[in-house]
Amino acid sequence: MGLISRFSRTRKFINQIRTLNSPLISSIRSNNALECRLRWTSSYCSKSRSQRDNDIDLSQFPAERIRNFSIIAHVDHGKSTLADRLLELTHTIRKGHGQPQYLDKLQVERERGITVKAQTATMFYKHNPHTATSESTEDTSTFLLNLIDTPGHVDFSYEVSRSLAACQGVLLVVDAAQGVQAQTVANFYLAFESNLSIIPVINKIDQPTADPDRVMSQLKSMFDLEPKDALLTSAKTGQGLEQILPAVIERIPPPPGKFGSPARMLLLDSYYDEYKGVICHVAIVDGTLHKGEKISSVATGQTYEVSDIGIMHPELVPTGVLFTGQVGYMVSGMRSTKEARIGDTLFHARSVVEPLPGFKPAKHMVFSGLYPADGSDFEALSNAIERLTCNDASVCVSKETSMALGLGFRCGFLGLLHMDVFHQRLEQEYGARIISTVPTVPYIFEYSDGSKIEVQNPASLPSDPKKRVTACWEPTVVATIIIPSEYIGPVMTLCSDRRGVQLDYSFIDSQRALMKYRLPLREMVVDFYDQLKTITSGYATFDYEDSE
Ligand SMILES: Nc1nc2c(ncn2[C@@H]2O[C@H](COP(=O)(O)OP(=O)(O)OP(=O)(O)O)[C@@H](O)[C@H]2O)c(=O)[nH]1
């Protein structure tokens, strides 16, 4: 379904919700919250804390017995289903746990069947190097595997690049019938540029239209990945899944790092939990971190005491310690997620360490105004936005006022789907009732005196009779489009109608073409994706990145 039509469908849904009366909304909201709380508490309380602390001895897992890997793919090629099967295979979750796409925890992810937030799960797996299959043989060693399930949609590629920083390898999942698609290309290059080991997995081989040989030759011609290295699987029927974890262990290197050095870790993600406060996901690059120790932040210079530390197995399981190469969570008395800056280096207080490279800041592509549906609800909306941005730090927020709508906020998003998901989460998780303005893209204006200004909202362009606007720049993106060859003509016409400039044009096999265009972002924000899907009968796939 087109991005924009998904958007308009949700708007319709939002309008329907607005017509519900507020006591009903608040009762739904409190029931949801209660249900989540009960689910969490029952799994958490099923064992006592000390029992769980003692259950898992992480000192058994030196770096050589750890593998950190991510699952990357185009939208809907089966990442989350595959992640489920691997969690079942390693007994991390029960088979038939009655909750498909286990790691897609948000309500919006379940309703839309998409992943928007990367999730990590630690698994333990007995591997026999001689048989390359596992379990119950004598010469086995147990490995600790950290699996990171990532979103497929272009708007959330920021989540993918962050996840890859904690990994040494990836499973590149490709649908056996659809073959390589636009986000397969984008994700492959993210992994390739990070020097990660890439294991191609051709999934959905159970489909009648599956053609693994064609996909293998696409992988060879586009990415130089050898056909013999591809694993053929069906996450639906379970076929071929037994080869995956042995391949992860044998083909992905263990995490590097210095065991004896002071603790140094990368802050991968953070979110706010009502009971525990700020929970940070960290990758321990060097050294060991125990509960009770003090850590400092390179970004803020603040020092904190670690009050809880452990792994996601797949829920939070305290272990009291994390060693070099391990990925887990840490609670340290940070009061808000603003203190937990994603990409920050945390280290043993009073030690001297080299900061880790961190991440590029998220780039906001579209902006929109958010106003309370009822003007008197401004405070409630303000609270809801503040709480949600604690769990989605990639949104930027500033206050603004509109003549018609009163006091509100201008928010920057990574793309239209991200904006839509943020709106939906505000309504579903925080019961906010909002009116949002038409999305805009940021323009840069230059004045006759040489000064420049970035304007996200046309209404806020200052008019100063003493200064003349001499130049104006609009943001552009580089779009990658993959289409069956019969649609090349109409797609070229669409792109040139939208002021696109062709940058590349090639064939990925006898039936499919790959085109690259530089396009003004504004053209895409309107209805480009819907048009593209319409003129290609839904066969086009599309990805874009900022062209600067
Ligand atoms: N026939 C078949 N269907 C599959 C297989 N694996 C996954 N699916 C289905 O494909 C659809 C998408 O699967 P997901 O696991 O949600 O895909 P995803 O890549 O995680 O999707 P995003 O998170 O949105 O990027 C679901 O309806 C799955 O049931 C498979 O091996 N065979």
pLDDT digits 0-9 by tens, 330-352: 999 887 777 888 888 999 998 88
Q: Is the pLDDT of residue 146 over 60?
A: yes
Task: Indicate the SS3 state at residue 449.
Answer: coil
- Whether 442 and 456 have beta carbons less than 8 Å apart is answered as yes
CB-based contacts of 363: which residues, under 8 Å, 6+ apart? 414, 546
Kindly state if the Cβ of 181 falls inside 6 Å of ligand 1.
no
Q: What is the pLDDT of residue 33?
A: 35
Q: Is the pLDDT of residue 247 over 70?
A: yes
CA of 145 to the centre of ligand 1 (A): 22
Kindly state if the Cβ of 73 falls inside 6 Å of ligand 1.
yes
pLDDT tier at 7 (50, 70, 90 boundaries)? Answer: very low
Report how far apart, in Å, the C-alpha atoms of 171 and of each of 83, 241, 478 are. 10, 12, 26
CA of 101 to the centre of ligand 1 (A): 9
CA distance linking residue 61 with residue 142, whole number of Å:
8
- Whether 285 and 63 have beta carbons less than 8 Å apart is answered as no
Task: Indicate the SS3 state at residue 293.
Answer: coil
Single-letter amino acid, residue 175: D
314 vs 168, more confident: 168
Residue 358 backbone phi and psi in degrees, to 5: 70, -165
Residue in this structure with the two tokens 């308009």, named with its chain if needed: 8
> What does the pLDDT average to over 32-38?
34
Q: What is the pLDDT of residue 18?
A: 31
CA distance linking residue 548 with residue 545, whole number of Å:
9
CA of 175 to the centre of ligand 1 (A): 9
Q: In this structure, what token pair is assigned to residue 268?
A: 């991968």
Cis peptide upstream of residue 314 (ω within 30 degrees of 0): yes
Atom of ligand 1 nearest to the CA of 77: 19
Q: Which range is least confidently modeled, 259-263, 454-458, 477-481, 489-493?
A: 454-458
- Whether 235 and 203 have beta carbons less than 8 Å apart is answered as yes
Q: Which of 80, 203, 207 to mutate to test the pocket of ligand 1 (most atoms within 8 A of CB)?
A: 80
- Whether 93 and 43 have beta carbons less than 8 Å apart is answered as no
> What does the pLDDT average to over 89-108?
70
Q: What is the pLDDT of residue 102?
A: 61
Kindly state if the Cβ of 157 falls inside 6 Å of ligand 1.
no
Percent of the chain with pLDDT over 70: 84
Residue burial 228-259, b: 16+ Cβ < 10 Å; e: rest: eebbbbbbeeeebbeebbbbbbeebebbebee
Interface TM-score (ipTM) > 0.85: yes
Average pLDDT, the chain: 82
pLDDT tier at 5 (50, 70, 90 boundaries)? Answer: very low
Beta-bridge partners for 284: 265
CA of 239 to the centre of ligand 1 (A): 15
Instruction: Put residue 236 in one of left, alpha, beta given phi > 0 → left and psi -120 to 50 → alpha.
Output: alpha
Write down the pTM of the prediction.
0.80
Task: Indicate the SS3 state at residue 346.
Answer: strand
